[in-house]
Amino acid sequence: MITHHKRIGVFYLLSSLLFFLLGGAEAMVMRAQLSLPNLKLLTPETYNQVFTMHGTTMIFLVVMPVLTGLGVYLIPLMIGADDTAFPRLCAIAFWLQVGGGLLLYFSFAIGNAPNAGWFSYAPLTENAYSPGPGIDFWAFSILLIGAAIVASSINLIVTIATSRTSGMTIRRLPLFVWMHLINSVMILFALPVLVATLVMLLGDRLLHARFFDAAQGGSPLLWQHYFWIFGHPEVYIMILPGFGMISEIIPVFSRQPIFGYRSMAASTVAIGFLSYGVWVHHMFAVALGRTLLSVFAAASMLIAVPTGVKIFNWTATMLGGSIRFTTSMLFAVAFLLEFTIGGLSGMAFAAVPVDWQMTDTYFVVAHIHYVLFGGTIFSIFAGIYYWYPKITGRLLDESIGHWHFWLVVVGFNMTFFVQHFLGLLGMPRRVYTYPDVPWWGALNLISTVGAGILTFGILMFCANIVISLRFGAVAGTDPWNAWTLEWADGNTSVPVRSARPLWDLKHPEAPDWAHEQ
């Protein structure tokens, strides 16, 4: 069995790319159906399956695996280890995740995909309202994928804890590793909540339990609480590794160390803790009483602070630097702006009465895509352009890269910015069609056209990956003149006395460890 971290890492990247294309196709199908009012390209049942599969795929089969894959590939290199702590577990986790994906898509193939949204509110997902196996497929798939995610998190934590090369103290870890460490601990505490919730749902559906069935004395509200106790940390789990990548990329292309290494790490720990105390903000539209809502509003606004200051740290890193706009850096800078927009629209939701208008509308669809696509996916693009030469020995083509970048930026913003307005104008989410209300048709059409442009950009990305594999410029071990151990050539032994061991090696006249931090 193949267990080496570099191979498993590449496997994760390839499987995520495949599912990204599937999830993207699902998105295009949705956008086509929504391009004009009252279209009948899809039946409501098909649309509902497609949007459920889109969300489930992107979260569980794209974002989480690709971030895991990058972690598995890079963390051992960054800490000077030979492999992860549990190589066989590493491999098993990958195949479990693939198995979950195959199970989920099998349900699609037999026309019985889940159709209740990626957060599957009960009692809609009880047997009475969702007969048929779709929801069962969904639950079992996510159980498999969830187990895989927990397994790989355990692996990463133990790897970071026990396999660091000498001199690599916790305070000298690359921020990429810090973010993954905190992320992995968050996963340990968040995923089991999802597992419990799914077990309870399957109990209801298969064994006639009554957890969530209001008609039988159960509590639909319990589902909402339990799901979001997982669901909120989950969204931070989906962005933290992205923060880690940006924290490596911006410094190297600005030729400056990250501004405020310590507070970057500390603020991330704060986010880790705080993220378990905000979940009710997904439920502000439920009658829970102003006191409870106010507490969670305060926590939700508070968590914006450690998240937001990172934007300042990254920007400050650029100031006083010498910035090279490679495609990787372009995506990293775009990330700053897109994630800021996403974070600000999130702040609007923390203001409860605004949430009372905007939740469950296209305003929230805009928000989630700004943080998950403009945030996470852009950081992944930046990361791929940055580490592709490490993985393949060749550079991705910069001209294609620039096409990819501009098509994606234009397409992405065109698709999702107008959705803020659609939400304000009253369009709810998860609707397979909509009536001919003023402006809804025009804005939806713009959004669909944007999605088409975005699709082109992504196809350029795929083309770049394939073409550069064969024809890309040969990269050498350290194409970006970077500073962390993954760029070491493997022959010279690099002493670790700071967070930038290669900088110290290249600049013996001004090493980091001589600087009082």
Partner 1 sequence: MIWPRAKLGMAMLLLSEGVFFFMLLLAFVYFRDESLKTATATLRLQTTSIYTACLLGSAFTLWRGWRKVTIVLGLVFALGQGSEYVRLLRSGVTMAQGLFGTTFFTLTGIHELHLLLGLALLAALPRNQAAAMFWYFVVAVWMAVFAVVYLWTFL
Partner 2 sequence: MPLGALSPHSPQTLVIAALFANILILSAVIFLIVAGLVAYAALRYRARPGDAEPAQTFGSKAVEIAWTVIPIVIVTGIFIVTVRAMALVDAPLQPAFAPDLVVTGHQWWWDARYPNGAIAVSEIHIPAGRRLLVEVDSTDVIHDFWVPQLARKMDAIPGRHGYIWLQADKPGTYQGVCSEFCGAQHAHMHFLVIAQAEPEYSVWLRRQAAPAARLPIPVFERKCAECHANSLKGPDLTHIAGRDTLGANLSKNTRANLALWIEKPQSVKPGNRMPDQQLTGAEVRDLTGYLESLE
Least gap, CB of 157 to partner 1 (angstroms): 6
Least gap, CB of 61 to partner 1 (angstroms): 21
Cis peptide leading into residue 174 (ω within 30°): no
Judged by CB under 8 A, the chain residues 495 through 514 that form the site for partner 2 are 507, 510, 512
Judged by CB under 8 A, the chain residues 183 through 212 that form the site for partner 2 are none
Q: Mask: binding to partner 2, 126-165, rule CB under 8 A, as x and -?
A: --xxx-----------------------------------
Q: Quick check: 198 binds partner 1 (CB under 8 A)?
A: no
Least gap, CB of 452 to partner 2 (angstroms): 23
Tokens of 25: 């196709």
Least gap, CB of 307 to partner 2 (angstroms): 10
Q: Quick check: 257 binds partner 2 (CB under 8 A)?
A: yes
Nearer to partner 2, 84 or 498 (CB): 498
Least gap, CB of 158 to partner 2 (angstroms): 31
Q: Quick check: 106 binds partner 2 (CB under 8 A)?
A: no
Contact 105, 22 (CB under 8 A): yes
**Binding residues with partner 2: total (CB under 8 A):** 97
Which has the closest alpha carbon to 497: 480, 515, 482? 515
The residue from 103, 222, 323, 354 that contacts partner 1 (CB under 8 A) is 222
Q: Quick check: 391 binds partner 1 (CB under 8 A)?
A: no
Least gap, CB of 161 to partner 2 (angstroms): 26
The residue from 18, 41, 89, 124 that contacts partner 2 (CB under 8 A) is 124
**Binding residues with partner 1: total (CB under 8 A):** 34
Between CA 116 and CA 125 the distance in angstroms is 7
Residue 361, SS3 per DSSP: strand
Tokens of 511: 């090493």
Contact 467, 474 (CB under 8 A): no
Contact 425, 437 (CB under 8 A): yes
Q: Is 131 left (phi over 0), alpha (psi -120 to 50) or beta?
A: beta
Q: Using CB distances below 5 to 8 A depending on partner kind, what does residue 333 bind out of partner 1, partner 2, none?
A: partner 2
Least gap, CB of 319 to partner 2 (angstroms): 5
The stretch near partner 1 (CB under 8 A) out of 185-193, 377-385, 412-420, 461-469 is 185-193
Least gap, CB of 93 to partner 2 (angstroms): 31
Which has the closest alpha carbon to 367: 346, 337, 352? 346
Nearer to partner 1, 296 or 440 (CB): 296
Least gap, CB of 204 to partner 1 (angstroms): 8
Least gap, CB of 99 to partner 1 (angstroms): 20
**3-state secondary structure labels for all residues of 484-508:** CHHHCCCCCCCCCCCCCHHHHHHCC
Q: Facing residues of 474 across strands?
A: 394
Q: Quick check: 195 binds partner 1 (CB under 8 A)?
A: yes
Q: Mask: binding to partner 2, 360-379, rule CB under 8 A, as x and -?
A: xx------------------
Least gap, CB of 62 to partner 1 (angstroms): 23
Residue 265, SS3 per DSSP: helix
The residue from 25, 39, 112, 117 that contacts partner 2 (CB under 8 A) is 117
Tokens of 347: 């702040």
The residue from 114, 218, 244, 389 that contacts partner 1 (CB under 8 A) is 218
* CB neighbourhood size of 8 (10 A): 26
Backbone angles phi, psi at 361, to 5 degrees: -120, 180
Contact 325, 310 (CB under 8 A): no
The residue from 112, 165, 357, 477 that contacts partner 2 (CB under 8 A) is 357
Nearer to partner 1, 202 or 304 (CB): 202
Between CA 15 and CA 30 the distance in angstroms is 23
What is the residue whose two structure tokens read 């998105």?
27
* CB neighbourhood size of 458 (10 A): 21
Between CA 13 and CA 430 the distance in angstroms is 29
Which has the closest alpha carbon to 410: 446, 361, 365? 446
Dihedral angle at the C-alpha atoms of 485, 486, 490, 494, nearest 10 degrees?
0
Residue 65, SS3 per DSSP: helix
Nearer to partner 1, 191 or 409 (CB): 191
What is the residue whose two structure tokens read 């199970």?
103
Contact 372, 346 (CB under 8 A): no
Least gap, CB of 433 to partner 2 (angstroms): 6
Between CA 116 and CA 48 the distance in angstroms is 7
Q: Using CB distances below 5 to 8 A depending on partner kind, what does residue 301 bind out of partner 2, partner 1, none?
A: partner 2
Q: Using CB distances below 5 to 8 A depending on partner kind, what does residue 150 bind out of partner 1, partner 2, none?
A: partner 1
Between CA 386 and CA 249 the distance in angstroms is 7
Distance of CA 248 to the CA centre of its chain: 17
Judged by CB under 8 A, the chain residues 91 through 150 that form the site for partner 1 are 150
Nearer to partner 1, 225 or 255 (CB): 225
Q: Quick check: 6 binds partner 2 (CB under 8 A)?
A: no
What is the contact surface with partner 1 in residues (CB under 8 A)? 85-86, 89, 150, 153-155, 157-158, 161-162, 188-189, 191-193, 195-197, 199-200, 203, 207-211, 216-219, 222, 226, 229
